[in-house]
Structures are given as structure tokens and as C-alpha cells.
Amino acid sequence: MTKMGRPKSENSKKKVLSVRVEDSMYQRICDYAAQHQLTVTEVVLLGLEKVLSKPE
């Protein structure tokens, strides 16, 4: 019998990052996410992508 469940993604996310932020920064992230209909994770990933895509 084959396994049931969610199919595997081509770009599976296996690494987990944990970041500690001040309450005010967390609130700013949550507010931005709500205004732009994003999750907190999506906001953080967008920010990382923006920083990492800048030429050095």
C-alpha cells in the first residue's frame, strides 16, 4: 500500500530558523503582514530576499 498524505514539494523547506525580536519589532512585522495580507513568515522571507539580492 502506498503512503497517503501531502505530496513532496520540489523545493522542500527542511531548515528552521528562530529569531528573537523585541515586542515593538514583532508588532511592526505583524501590522505589515496584516496590511499586505501576508503571513509573518512571508514578511521575514521577503526581507531576507531583499537584503540578500543587493549587490555587494
Q: Which residue has the cell 522542500?
A: 12
pLDDT band of 19, cuts 50, 70, 90: very high
Could you tell me where the DSSP H helices lie in the chain? 23-35, 40-52
Sign of CA dihedral 21, 25, 27, 30: negative
- The pTM (predicted TM-score) of the whole model is 0.77
pLDDT band of 39, cuts 50, 70, 90: very high
Check: CB of residue 42 under 8 Å from CB of residue 53: no
